Amino acid sequence: MKFELVATEFFIKQIRDLDRKSKDQIKEKINLISSDPFRFKKIHSKTVHNVFRVRLNIRSKEMRLIYAVLSPNIILVCLLNRKNNYADLEKYLQELK
């Protein structure tokens, strides 16, 4: 099945200010996501099913790229700082509804 990538406004705002190396790393992961969206670890969400995360190391910080597979779209939700323990995840996923 062919999926279409869609980025939230928040995600676009987050990556806008990143350096070229970080953007390239994110682009690489997005290419992997588009080839097989179910490849990465699934995470539990109260509001949205099929939410996944990709591990990233951006500017020496552990980050997670969060995306949701809602056929026929793959929605790039946000970049989460790992030290916050996914505390803000549900807030960002609420915006998908």
- 16-36 pLDDT, tens digit per residue, is 989 999 999 999 999 999 999
Burial class (CB in 10 A: 0-12, 13-18, 19+), 86: middle
Helix/strand/coil for 9: helix
- pTM (predicted TM-score): 0.92
Just give the CATH number of 4-94: 3.30.2310.20
Q: Which residues of 24-51 are buried (b: 16+ CB within 10 A; e: fewer)?
A: ebbeebbeebeeebeebeeeebeebebb
Residue 60 has pLDDT above 70, yes or no: yes
Residue 63 has pLDDT above 90, yes or no: yes
